[in-house]
Amino acid sequence: SGKMFTFPEETDTAHVRLTTSRQNLRAVTVCFRSFTDLQREHSLFSLSTPSAANDFLIVKKAADGVIDILAKQNGKLFGGQNYRLNAWLSICSTWDAASGLVQVWIDGKPSSRKFTHSVNINGPIIIVLGQDQDNHGGGFDVKQSFVGMMSDVHMWDYVISPSEIQSYTQGFVSFTPGNVLNWRLLEFQIIGKVLIEGEQWSCFT
């Protein structure tokens, strides 16, 4: 709580590995806050299993305002997103295996809902911030690395409601924290040059 990860440079090694005991997922919601000035493609959240390097992946594409969400290797592009540089953004993405639908929210504004894949995620799961896993736990590419700051990472094993996403976006303490990843009780390992610093998001809200 009150902290952020700072990724200060391009690298194909530095990352944060997040630990969860949950290894089978029928649905996913991921929310986090990030700040960057990158104009190239970069990974924001990477969940990999041995059967699928991109079991759940959130990538900002080089094209202006385009987010790529992959579930079970099947990606969908979301255009027209207000992905601003040099600004703190609250980003959430949801996916449900029953429907196969994926959606992204930026600062509380939703995208269209699109079909990706209707197969559960089965572990062992490795979750990485700062890099895109091109294989299970590795295969990093410096040109996909994240440079900037990240905070308030939460993950649920169900699709949270739009009102919960709004509560998260607005920083209400009443929102239900993630039951897969909870920023307030986060278990993690830092590999390489990633810093833990006092968070800055609340200073700009």
pLDDT at 174: 81
Distance CA(81)–CA(65), nearest Å, equals 5
pLDDT the model gives residue 11: 97
Successive 10-residue mean pLDDT values, the chain, 205 residues:
95 97 94 97 96 94 93 92 94 96 96 93 95 94 98 97 95 90 96 96 65
46 contact partners, CB below 8 Å, separation of at least 6: 54, 57, 58, 127, 128, 129, 131, 132, 133
Domain assignment present for residue 81? The answer is yes
Q: What is the pLDDT of residue 123?
A: 84
* pLDDT score of 175: 87
153 domain-assigned: yes
In a domain, 9, yes or no: yes
How many residues in the chain?
A: 205
Q: Which domain holds residue 15?
A: 3-198
CATH number, domain at 100?
2.60.120.200
pLDDT at 1: 81
Asked whether residue 205 is assigned to any structural domain, the reply reads: no
Cβ-based burial of 80 (10 A; exposed 0-12, middle 13-18, buried ≥19)? exposed
Q: What is the pLDDT of residue 205?
A: 55
Does the residue 175 lie in any domain? Answer: yes
Question: Looking at residue 158, what is its pLDDT?
Answer: 97
Question: Domain tally for the chain?
Answer: 1
What pLDDT score was predicted for residue 117? Answer: 86
